[in-house]
């Protein structure tokens, strides 16, 4: 086993373990933290695959921004865990039944029916050749993103715009009773509006 292989299996095992913990731990905060760990190990695997840009983005965007916000929300909401767990036992047999049936069918299909065909298929896919050290995959991504994938890229941008519009439309409520500052008036205020100098004669102490 080479060093890279060892690292791959180590991170892969950690990722699977953490992903399992995300859905099994009781405390939602812990669950969110395990999700962070899943992302970190996933980004390590991507680094091993020489996808540096994706790995860094995953850490920056998902771990750094999305999950932190998510933790905030989880901490602020008072989630009643016992209520979430209601009906778990009731639905468990159905869930296990469906999952078992599905898993069994998949295994049967992939291993019995066409195992030979699948193996030849796998063999024809060669691993890509390693790139030199000065190869920038950020630059490559940028180049195809704005040329080959410019149309899907623009649609993705529109989806984000719609997400913003939808989020504001669903949460923004204009309250008529709220008091707010008007920066325009604050800035254009003059000395005379606030301060009045009153001239009067000094008085003697009695």
Partner 1 sequence: MEFIAAYLPSAMMNDQTISQLPLALPEIVMLCMASIVLIVDLFLNDKTRGGTYILSQFTLLALVVITVMSFTQQKSIAFHGTFVRDGMGDLLKIFVYIVTFTVFLYSKSYLKARDMFKGEYYVLGLFAVLGMMVMISAQSFLTIYLGLELLSLCMYALVALQRDSIIASESAMKYFVLGAIASGMLLYGMSMIYGATGSLELATINAEVMKNTDNIVLIFGLVFVLVGVAFKLGAVPFHMWLPDVYQGSPTAVAIFIGSAPKIAAFAMTMRLLVDGLHGLHVQWQDMLIIMAVASLAIGNIVAIAQTNIKRMLAYSTISHVGFIMLGIMTAEKGGYTASMFYTIVYTLMALGAFGMIMYMSRMGFESDKLDDFRGLNQRSPWFAFIMLIFMFSMAGVPPFVGFWAKLSILKAVVAVDMTWLAVTAVVFSIIGAFYYLRIIKLMYFDTPQETSAIEGASDLRVMLSLNGIAILGLGLYPELIMGLVISVM
Q: Rule CB under 8 A: is residue 144 a binding residue for partner 1? A: yes
Nearer to partner 1 by Cβ, of 13 and 166: the residue is 166
> In angstroms, how far is CA 16 from the centroid of its own chain?
18
Closest C-alpha to 99, from 111, 107, 110, 88: 107
State in angstroms the smallest separation of the CB of 159 from partner 1: 5
Distance CA 167, CA 156 (A): 17
Q: Return the sign of the alpha-carbon dihedral for residues 25, 27, 32, 36.
A: negative
Nearer to partner 1 by Cβ, of 10 and 165: the residue is 165
Q: Rule CB under 8 A: is residue 149 a binding residue for partner 1? A: yes
State in angstroms the smallest separation of the CB of 137 from partner 1: 14
Nearer to partner 1 by Cβ, of 50 and 143: the residue is 143
Q: Rule CB under 8 A: is residue 60 a binding residue for partner 1? A: no
**Rg for the chain (alpha carbons), in Å?**
30
Distance CA 51, CA 70 (A): 26
Site string for partner 1, 159-178 (x = CB under 8 A): x-xxx-xx--xx--------
Q: Rule CB under 8 A: is residue 23 a binding residue for partner 1? A: no
Q: Rule CB under 8 A: is residue 79 a binding residue for partner 1? A: no
Among 88, 91, 151, 180, binds partner 1 (CB under 8 A): 151
- Number of amino acids touching partner 1 (CB under 8 A): 28
Distance CA 22, CA 36 (A): 10
Distances 117 to 105, 107, 138, 187 between C-alpha atoms, Å:
18, 15, 36, 75
Closest C-alpha to 88, from 168, 23, 158, 169: 23
Residue numbers at the binding site for partner 1 (CB under 8 A): 109-110, 113-114, 117-118, 121, 143-144, 146-152, 154-156, 158-159, 161-163, 165-166, 169-170
């Amino acid at each position: 086993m080479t060093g890279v292989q060892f690292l791959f299996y180590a991170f892969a095992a950690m990722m699977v373990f953490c992903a399992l913990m995300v859905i099994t731990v009781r405390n939602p905060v812990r669950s969110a933290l395990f999700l962070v760990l899943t992302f970190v190990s996933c980004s390590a695997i991507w680094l091993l695959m020489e996808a540096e840009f994706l790995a860094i983005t995953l850490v920056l965007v998902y771990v750094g921004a999305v999950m932190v916000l998510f933790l905030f929300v989880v901490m602020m909401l008072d989630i009643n865990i016992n209520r979430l767990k209601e009906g778990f036992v009731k639905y468990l047999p159905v869930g296990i039944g469906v999952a078992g049936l599905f898993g069994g069918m998949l295994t049967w299909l992939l291993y019995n029916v066409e195992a030979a065909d699948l193996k030849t298929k796998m063999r024809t896919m060669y691993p890509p050749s390693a790139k030199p050290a000065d190869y920038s995959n950020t630059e490559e991504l940028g180049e195809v993103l704005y040329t080959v994938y410019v149309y899907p890229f623009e649609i993705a941008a529109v989806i984000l715009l719609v997400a913003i519009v939808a989020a504001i439309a669903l949460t923004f409520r204009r309250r008529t009773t709220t008091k707010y500052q008007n920066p325009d008036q604050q800035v254009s205020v003059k000395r005379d509006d606030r301060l009045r100098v009153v001239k009067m004669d000094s008085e003697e102490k009695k």
